[in-house]
Homo-oligomer: A and B are copies of this chain.
Amino acid sequence: MEIAIPLYDRFTALDAVGPYEVLSRLPGARVRFAAVDARPYTTDTGMLTLLAETALADMPHPDVLVVPGGPGTPQALADGRLVGWIAGAHATSRWTTSVCTGSLLLGAAGVLRGLEATSHWLDLDELEHHGAVPSGRRVVEQGKVITSAGVSSGIDMALTLSAHIAGDAVAQAIQLAIEYDPQPPFDAGSLRSAPPGIEQLVRAAVAQRDARS
């Protein structure tokens, strides 16, 4: 099974690496990091670089695509080669998935019209521009299309997908292998649970990041 994770400049690392860590453990799976050009891509922080070893043109029909998000998504949306590849890959894929603002790229490729979908909470409303119905759920399944919420949600999405592909026992073995028994020290990971003032801290940090870029 060929699994493509397309990269682009200023993607968010965990969006891509979380699902990779799960899906690469599926029996017979081959995960390929791909991009418009096969070259190194640097993440949103500027502190980490991953290699895209495959050109998108050389991998037109993966079985599974996992599209990550990040602050680079708006620029990526304007790249017809990436968006066109997503549309073409989706036409023949078994599963088409996204993490975080990767769903906006699915949307631009016409994948989400009339479907419920999710994204990072900061960008959820943007989905409406692509004809999707925003959902507050963490993992949203619509037939072969699965979108997930911000950054870390890709781990949950990939375990859900693993169960569909290989059965519950294999997915559970992957969960145990990566010891995914989450125990965050705070309950602040969603707008529902975050204490007062935390949302504003995040918005201020994002504004500062965007001002720098």
Contact = CB atoms under 8 A, between A and B. Distances in A.
Interface of A: 12-14, 17-18, 20-21, 24-25, 30-33, 40, 45, 47-51, 53, 100, 120-121, 138-139, 149-153, 155-156, 159-160, 163, 168-173, 175-186, 188-195, 197-199, 201-202, 205-206
A30 B47 CA distance: 7
B49 A169 contact: no
A201 B183 contact: no
Count of this chain's copies in the oligomeric assembly: 2
10 contacts: A150-B178, A151-B178, A153-B179, A156-B184, A169-B195, A169-B197, A169-B201, A177-B205, A179-B190, A180-B189
A176 B205 contact: no
A43 to B, nearest CB: 8
A13 B149 CA distance: 21
Nearest to A121: B179
Contacts of A21: 12-14, 151-152
A192 B13 CA distance: 30
A188 B31 CA distance: 24
Nearest to A199: B176
A207 to B, nearest CB: 12
